[in-house]
Amino acid sequence: MPLDPATQKIRAFDQVGTRPLRPDGLDKVTGRARFGADATAPGMLVGRILRSPHAHARIRSIDATKAEALPGVKAVVTSKDFADRSDDLRDILVNIMARGKALYEGHTVAAVAATSASVARKALKLIKVDYEVLPHVTDVDLAMEPDAPLLHDDLITSGVEPVPTKPSNIARKIEFGHGDVDKGFAEADLVVEREFKTEATHQGYIEPHACLASVGSDGQGELWVCTQGHYMVRDVCAQLLGMDVSKLRVTASEIGGGFGGKTTVFIEPVALALSRKAGRPVKVVMTRDEVFRASGPTSSTSMRMKIGVKKDGRITALDALLKYQGGAFAGAPVDYGGMAGVACYDYPNIRVVGYDVVTNRPKQAAYRAPGAPMTAFAVESVIAEIADTLKLDPIEMRLKNAAKEGTKSAYGPTFGPVGLVETLKAAKAHPNYKVKLGKNQGRGIASGFWFNFGGQTCVSLNLNIDGTLALAVGTPDIGGSRASMCLMAAEELGIPYENVRAIIADTSSLGYNDVTDGSRVTFASGMATIHAARDAIKKLCGRAAKVWGIPEEAVVWEKGFAKPSGANAGNFEPMSLKELAANAAKTGGPIAGHYEYNAENAGPSFATHVVDVEVDPETGFTKVLRYLVCQDAGKAVHPSYVEGQFQGGAVQGIGWALNEEYIYGADGRLQNAGFLDYRIPVASDLPMIDTAIVEVPNPGHPYGVRGVGETSIVPPMAAVSNAVSHAVGIRLTESPMSPPRILKALGEQAARKAG
Amino acid sequence: MQYEAPATIDAAVGLLSKAQGLARVLAGGTDLLVQLKSGTLEPDLVIDIKRIPEMTKLVAENGGFRIGAAVPCAVLGENAAVRKLWPGVVEAANLIGSTQIQGRATVVGNLCNASPAADSVPAMMAANAIATVAGPNGKREVPVGDIATAPGKTSLAKGEIVTSVFLPSRPAHSGDAYLRFIPRTEMDIAVVGVGVSLTLGDDGVCKAARVALGAVAARALLAEDAAKAIVGTKLDEKALAKLAEAASAACRPIDDKRGTKEFRIKVAGVLARRAAEKALERARGK
């Protein structure tokens, strides 16, 4: 039971911590829920996008005359339909519509709006693009070579002194840490240094990007879209199209998965430009092929990790070199990824150097704890190897170095109360950790961290005439957050969960809300909901005071009723929320609670994962036998959805570890742009993912809540790698650990033994 | 695009023979509809054969079974007699796609799609199954292994259509098995597939065997040396090792997104051995 951060007493909850059905559940299982592609409007056209078949090519010219002349074609747009700009939206502008060069296979070159899909498809074939094919590069190490094909002739590496005189594919150099690593390694009894590579993966959301845009001749626009952040979509699209923000209203649809990949725009500005030109609504829906080739997968990486320890396992120093490619534009998450990836331990000396590199691949987008799983893979693999070498229990080794309250993190801040130690202890105490392993089986342990964000948030809570409530939040629900919001509002007001209905309001109904990302929503929108409820309660007490003719301060709110605060306040029957609602018109009009703020003090969440695998030594096939996630939720508002986040992150991480990868041909084209050959795990691949919720309250939230959505994907790649390495007796350092890779390593080991 | 659903084989052959441009036959549609939707194929004529009564029948014939070209894989799986006679063929047919896909997909479609990785093809080749082909010049019978010539290409002439596949009867003490390697557990395509069929004498010695390999060459292969390695043996350790070696040696694979050459060669041997052991168990009546 968590402590009430305000009173430091154990707080008991009536509703928070229970598991009611989610308000959107029935609609989703019956098909009534409306997703991005379900939007429709009278006179709607079909929008289709022409994409570059080349990984890197100069666009000499685009001739769309034949397409425009095709009956049924109502508009064709190219980069000429978007004004150029030099601000921080330029990369987005160039990504949504190529200007001068196609920078990756799948890069948008032109788009059409037509009366049917078949006309649109024919029109695309009639657009003649004259390309001058250029040399390309998709590998991060090759892209950093001095003679690598150059993507941008004006890209000068930032973070380097003196400032380079020549452009390169290195967008940024970052460096952080503290202490003296050379001194730290000199003090070490054992130093292990390894190189690692990870392939790019895709978020793999089931719903492809989809939107319906409608811009009238008066310049007013509406957009219905599947996104994690409709305010972001509004603001970015309005700027790219030169519209007043007030003239564009954006409504978020239900979302079939995002995982960070829907925190930017791709088709939305294009659909708006087509609609504006055609004068009719235009719907654009990506195919799965387009999702893989032209949305935002994550970075591939190349890393070097060096850790020194004393004989007892205490870390003396860490030195890391991280190279992340982020596709055709700057922004690979080497900074956050590196910071989060090393965050689990207390290092007397640490230095992390990272490079953000551009290549001829689609611009990366956020993917659940962006960048952290890769660095964690390197850190946790070396920790595992050290524990093996020193014959230390891997959990004891981690406990010896675990970050705790008062630990100075490598990225700067000193941690407050955090739960890594508790997750390690929970893992050690769990029955899974005691199961005896058989032949060809191995166990892997890894820990992970994510910062968690707060951010700009605005909510409204409106009391209806019957005492039920309408809660409007501005953060799309990607993981059951509406249920959590309703629970928190119901908890504050002391009414049944079912009496609160939460909706995701459109951009014209609430103040600005940051994107649903950084595991921020249950924390930030949740805290705003609590404050909005408290705001409403204050007003409700005021109404009761008015009726009773006593001072407002003499009224308290208890479990759904306004009551006199004590005997001195007067002897009145408690007034229910229902009565107050029914009498609202007579006591001052509608009653509502509001809250808007920039949320701070999101508590980080740590996790420890334990996995057992069995590897078929003849085929390299890995079977996951059991998997345990122990993670700190601060306070689990809705435990089922917390467990769902733990399990979902673990499964995505297992896929990343074992089979998921972007495979490029020598021509720079993606070879596996579909779910057949981009292999996310299927249900029968996995055991039920076991979970243990740890609750170390976050002092920054009234209930102690921490975000839980992202940390869960940080440890799996390392945990699975450690398990596979133990099963086969070879340290694996490249993801995915696919059967051909494992079998090759086994063959090389056999050859070494024989030779 | 013209869509036709003729009621007789003759009518289907007539339409195919006269077709201008690209013509495609539609059975379950699990390959064709995907190609149409993605725009990789734009046929001028699609002939749906599901209205042709004899195409939709699975019938016992001469101790074996005739599988009409429009018979879904799920129907094979639900037929206890077919499962008993040719369990390896049925398990191959029931590995294709998912349960829903097996309700539509057909083994003849799997054959004529001419993918080197088709699951049912090595199993049917090991079973020595015979395809019946109807065409403008009448009917002909062709071993299933001779239908596909290269990825997406068949030996069928213009106007020809496979109407059924015949799984023959078999002697006592026979067994077959099909195994494939995929990196997942379902919803995937074979990286390597191996079908083995064998018959034992009363003394337990292997009298006859057929081994077929999928996804290791431009089309499914009959690995005759692999079969020879076990004929005349009791499938002891030495014979199985020779079988694996011969199966690996028969492979002519490529490196692609689904697997490397070296991986396919190695795993073909491993699976040949495991499939032979499974077929042996079945032949022994276990």
pLDDT, tens digit, for every residue of A679-712? 999 999 999 999 999 999 999 999 999 999 999 9
Question: The tokens of A174 are what?
Answer: 């970052």
Is pLDDT above 50 for A314? yes
Q: Please answer yes or no on whether B184 and A679 come within 8 Å at the CB atom.
A: yes
Chain B: closest CA distance from residue A83 (Å): 33
Is pLDDT above 90 for A568? no
How does A170-190 read in b/e, with b if 16+ C-beta sit within 10 Å?
bbbbbebbebebeebbebbee
Q: Residue A5 is which amino acid? A: P
Across the A:B interface, residue pairs with CB atoms under 8 Å apart total 56
Residue A716 falls in which region: left (phi positive, over 0), alpha (psi -120 to 50) or beta: alpha
Instruction: Name the residue among B181, B188, B260 with its Cβ closest to that of A679.
Output: B188
- Could you tell me whether strands B130-135 and B161-167 are parallel, antiparallel, or unpaired per DSSP bridges? antiparallel
Chain A hits for B260, Cβ within 8 Å: 740, 744
Chain B: closest CA distance from residue A680 (Å): 9
H/E run at residue A483:
helix A481-493
CB-based burial label for A571 (10 Å; 0-12, 13-18, 19+): exposed
Task: Give the Å distances, CA to CA, from A498 to A18, B15, B26.
Answer: 13, 62, 51
CB proximity B181 to A under 8 Å: yes
Place of tokens 């100075």: A408
Q: Please answer yes or no on whether B38 and A289 come within 8 Å at the CB atom.
A: yes
H/E run at residue A469:
strand A469-473
Q: At what angle do helices A716-728 and A639-658 cross, to 10 degrees?
A: 50
CB proximity B33 to A under 8 Å: no
Residue A47 · residue A112 · CB < 8 Å: yes
Q: Please answer yes or no on whether A684 and B186 come within 8 Å at the CB atom.
A: yes
Is pLDDT above 60 for A651? yes
What integer pLDDT is reported at residue A8 of this predicted model?
57
Q: Please answer yes or no on whether B259 and A671 come within 8 Å at the CB atom.
A: no
Q: Please answer yes or no on whether A619 and B181 come within 8 Å at the CB atom.
A: yes
Is pLDDT above 80 for A6? no
Residue A362 · residue A296 · CB < 8 Å: yes
Q: Please answer yes or no on whether A739 and B257 come within 8 Å at the CB atom.
A: no
Question: The tokens of A428 are what?
Answer: 């050690």
Chain A: closest CA distance from residue B189 (Å): 8
For an interface test with B, the pick among A613, A616, A676 (most B C-beta atoms closer than 10 Å) comes out as A676
Is pLDDT above 50 for A475? yes
Q: Please answer yes or no on whether A619 and B39 come within 8 Å at the CB atom.
A: no
Cα B98 from chain centroid (whole Å): 17
Chain B hits for A744, Cβ within 8 Å: 260, 262-263
Question: The tokens of B56 are what?
Answer: 């939709």
Residue range A301-315: mean pLDDT, rounded: 98
Give the nearest chain B residue to A738 (CA atoms): B183
* A625: nearest Cα among A687, A718, A682: A687
Place of tokens 């006199």: A564
Please enumerate in sequence order all residues whose Cβ is within 8 A of that of B271, keeping only pairs 6 or more positions apart, or say none: B179, B180, B181, B192, B193, B194, B247
For an interface test with B, the pick among A286, A293, A619, A667 (most B C-beta atoms closer than 10 Å) comes out as A619
CB-based burial label for A626 (10 Å; 0-12, 13-18, 19+): middle
Instruction: Name the residue among B184, B257, B260 with its Cβ closest to that of A681.
Output: B184
What integer pLDDT is reported at residue A3 of this predicted model?
52
What integer pLDDT is reported at residue A9 of this predicted model?
60
Question: The tokens of A144 are what?
Answer: 């950093």
Residue B244 · residue B220 · CB < 8 Å: no
pLDDT, mean over chain A: 97
- The runs of H, that is alpha helices, within A516-660 are 521-548, 577-582, 584-587, 639-658
pLDDT digits (tens, 9 = 90+) for B169-225: 999 999 999 999 999 999 999 999 999 999 999 999 999 999 999 999 999 999 999
CB proximity B86 to A under 8 Å: no
Chain A hits for B186, Cβ within 8 Å: 682, 684
Chain A: closest CA distance from residue B180 (Å): 11
What values do phi and psi take at B168, rounded to 5? -75, 170
H/E run at residue B266:
helix B261-283
Q: Which CATH number does the domain B1-48 belong to among 3.90.1300.10, 3.40.50.2300, 3.30.43.10, 3.40.980.10?
A: 3.30.43.10
CB proximity B99 to A under 8 Å: no
Chain A hits for B39, Cβ within 8 Å: 121
What integer pLDDT is reported at residue A283 of this predicted model?
98
CB proximity B258 to A under 8 Å: yes
Q: Please answer yes or no on whether A619 and B267 come within 8 Å at the CB atom.
A: yes
Chain B hits for A121, Cβ within 8 Å: 39
Residue range B224-239: mean pLDDT, rounded: 98
Q: Please answer yes or no on whether B184 and A659 come within 8 Å at the CB atom.
A: yes
Give the span between the Cα atoms of B239 and B226, in whole angstroms: 9
What integer pLDDT is reported at residue A567 of this predicted model?
84
Cα A127 from chain centroid (whole Å): 36
B positions 215-254 inside 8 Å of A (CB): none
Q: Would you list the DSSP string of A393-460? A: -HHHHHHHHB--TTPBPTTSPBP-S--HHHHHHHHHHSGGGGPPP-TTEEEEEEEEEE----EEEEEE
Instruction: Name the residue among B186, B260, B270 with its Cβ closest to that of A619.
Output: B270
Return the CATH number of the domain spanning residue range B174-283. Answer: 3.30.390.50
Beta bridge partners of A283: A46, A212
* Confidence band of B38 (pLDDT split at 50, 70, 90): confident
Instruction: Name the residue among B183, B189, B256 with its Cβ closest to that of A659.
Output: B183
Residue range B20-31: mean pLDDT, rounded: 96
Q: Please answer yes or no on whether B267 and A289 come within 8 Å at the CB atom.
A: no
Is pLDDT above 70 for A1? no
Residue A589 · residue A465 · CB < 8 Å: no
* Confidence band of A429 (pLDDT split at 50, 70, 90): very high
Instruction: Name the residue among A658, A672, A739 with its Cβ closest to that of B257.
Output: A672
Place of tokens 């910071």: A339
H/E run at residue A74:
strand A73-77
Chain A: closest CA distance from residue B275 (Å): 14
Residue range A24-38: mean pLDDT, rounded: 96
Beta bridge partners of B23: B45
Show which residues on chain A lie within 8 Å of chain B, measured between beta carbons: 121, 287, 289, 618-621, 658-659, 663, 671-672, 676-677, 679, 681-682, 684-685, 738-740, 743-744, 747
CB-based burial label for A674 (10 Å; 0-12, 13-18, 19+): middle
Q: HSE of A154 in the Cβ direction (CA atoms, 13 Å)?
A: 2
Q: Please answer yes or no on whether B187 and A740 come within 8 Å at the CB atom.
A: no
Length of chain B: 286
Q: Please answer yes or no on whether A743 and B186 come within 8 Å at the CB atom.
A: no
What integer pLDDT is reported at residue A755 of this predicted model?
81
What integer pLDDT is reported at residue B286 of this predicted model?
66
Is A250 in a helix, a strand, or coil? strand
Is pLDDT above 60 for A647? yes
Q: HSE of B62 in the Cβ direction (CA atoms, 13 Å)?
A: 6
Chain A hits for B270, Cβ within 8 Å: 618-619
Give the span between the Cα atoms of B128 and B145, in whole angstroms: 9
Give the span between the Cα atoms of A649 and A450, in whole angstroms: 12
Give the nearest chain B residue to A659 (CA atoms): B183
Chain B: closest CA distance from residue A714 (Å): 22
What integer pLDDT is reported at residue A10 of this predicted model?
60
What values do phi and psi take at B278, rounded to 5? -70, -45
Instruction: Name the residue among B185, B191, B256 with its Cβ closest to that of A682.
Output: B185
Chain A: closest CA distance from residue B146 (Å): 27
Q: Please answer yes or no on whether A679 and B183 come within 8 Å at the CB atom.
A: yes
Domains defined along chain A, listed by start: 36-135+204-294 (3.90.1170.50), 300-407+417-452+603-754 (3.30.365.10), 454-599 (3.30.365.10)
What integer pLDDT is reported at residue B40 of this predicted model?
86
Give the nearest chain A residue to B36 (CA atoms): A118
What values do phi and psi take at A171, rounded to 5? -80, -35
pLDDT digits (tens, 9 = 90+) for A60-105: 999 999 999 999 999 999 999 999 999 999 999 999 999 999 999 9
Residue ranges of domains in chain B: 1-48, 174-283
Q: Please answer yes or no on whether B184 and A738 come within 8 Å at the CB atom.
A: no
What integer pLDDT is reported at residue A2 of this predicted model?
47
Q: Please answer yes or no on whether B189 and A682 come within 8 Å at the CB atom.
A: no
Q: HSE of A432 in the Cβ direction (CA atoms, 13 Å)?
A: 26
Please enumerate in sequence order all residues whose Cβ is within 8 A of that of A657, keeping only pairs 6 or more positions apart, or say none: A716, A717, A719, A720, A721, A735, A736, A737
Chain A hits for B263, Cβ within 8 Å: 620, 739-740, 743-744
* B16: nearest Cα among B161, B163, B145: B161
Q: Please answer yes or no on whether A121 and B39 come within 8 Å at the CB atom.
A: yes
B positions 184-213 inside 8 Å of A (CB): 184-189, 191
